[in-house]
Amino acid sequence: MKPILRSYLIEVNVGSSAPAQGQNISFQDYPQLRDIFLCGIIAQDSGQVTKSPSGKAVVTTLTDATITIMDKFNSEVIFQYPAYDLNPADQSGFYRDFVPFPMQLTKSYVTIMNTGTYTANQSFLFNILYYTAKDAAMLGARKK
Amino acid sequence: METGNNIISKKFYRVTIPLLNETNNSFNVQGKYYFPEVRNLENKKINGIQVHYGNVDITLKSNQSFQNKQLWFINPASFGGLNTFLTLYDVDGNELIGNMPTSILHNIGTGKIIPFNAYLNLKKSYILVPEVYVSTPPVIPALTLTFFHD
């Protein structure tokens, strides 16, 4: 695992009604996560966190959801990756780190794989691990 | 010796944050709690952070008290305790970690410590408790973390 440079928690709420199989739920815009390079994602369910910072109930399992992450060129760099695989509690404490790429959060989404698993107003929690272009310039300067 | 990508830390320092302050001394712990000033961690490169939970990997010691009240090291939310979220700032005032669930930093059953690489401004950093949670006096809930540093 690479050391975490920056992390920001994002919440994906399923909405006011229970989501159906095949439904895509888009990520909201977070100003902190514009123009960033994604290098890892950590997801958790209610086995670790029961309420989000905004007070919403956290989903009870990640097994029936996948995530798709778009880069700024509208390419699906991560396509329908099982969310369960992003929870360190289920992966011997490891988190998944990726070769960094410029992420486009607002075109990225969660896909529900089974009707009935998730109920209204539940939230997915994802920690986006990232760095900025300024960080990259500083890291490059340190290597020289 | 082959160490893989392990990071070796020379020193560890544990910081405890009582989840109670003057503005909410009614023992409802909902709110934001800033870190105390920790001179031992100033100008130190932090390599890793580990959270300890009560009755999981740490229990109350008789010599650990705050304002003559006993501390209760909180249980994780999944054990009926508190949800807590960590926000960390670096020495330049940049937000490094935004609302990370502390459970990510707890290595129960895994042995893994999430690595970091930062010089922190702890006085600006804080723990968020989003829910209303009423503690039973005189025991004060507290969160305790170990910082691994050079």
* Full domain range(s) for residue A139: 6-143
Classify residue B48: in a domain, yes or no. Answer: yes
* A5 closest CA partner among B41, B95, B96: B96
**pLDDT band, very low/low/confident/very high, at A144 (cuts 50, 70, 90):** very low
Amino acid type, B82: L
The pLDDT tens digits for A68-111 are 999 999 999 999 999 999 999 888 888 888 999 999 999 999 99
Point out the residues of chain B with pLDDT beneath 70.
Answer: 1-5, 21-27, 60-69, 78-79, 109, 135-138
pLDDT number for residue B88: 95
A15 within domain boundaries: yes
CB contact under 8 A, B117 and A3: yes
pLDDT at B1: 43
Domain-located, residue A139 = yes
Q: What percent of chain B has pLDDT over 90?
A: 31
Q: Is residue A1 part of a domain?
A: no
The 10 Å Cβ neighbour count of residue B137 is 12
How many separate domains does chain A show? 1
Contact in structure between A125 and B83 (CB atoms under 8 Å)? no
Strands A123-132, A6-13: pairing is antiparallel
- Total domains in chain B come to 1
Cβ count near A100 (within 10 Å): 16
Q: Which residues of A17-28 are buried (b: 16+ CB within 10 A; e: fewer)?
A: ebbeeebebebe
3-state secondary structure of A26: strand
Distance, in Å, from the CA atom of A101 to the CA atom of B149, rounded to the nearest integer, reads: 29
B112 and A1: CB-CB below 8 Å?
yes
Cβ of A51 within 8 Å of Cβ of B130? The answer is yes
CA-CA distance, A83 to B2, in Å (whole number)?
32
Q: How many Cα atoms occupy the beta-carbon half-sphere of B97 within 13 Å? A: 30
Closest approach of A19 to chain B, Cα-based (Å): 24
Q: How far is B95 from chain A (nearest CA, A)?
A: 8
Whether the CB-CB separation of B98 and A33 falls below 8 Å is answered with: no
For testing the chain A interface, which of B92, B114, B150 should be mutated: the one with the most A CBs within 10 Å? Answer: B114
Structural domain containing residue B94 = 18-149
pTM above 0.90? Answer: no
- Residues B74-101 have pLDDT tens digits of 877 766 778 999 999 999 899 999 999 9
A60 lies in a domain? yes
Nearest CA to B91 out of B48, B51, B125 is that of: B125
Q: Give domain status of residue B4, yes or no.
A: no
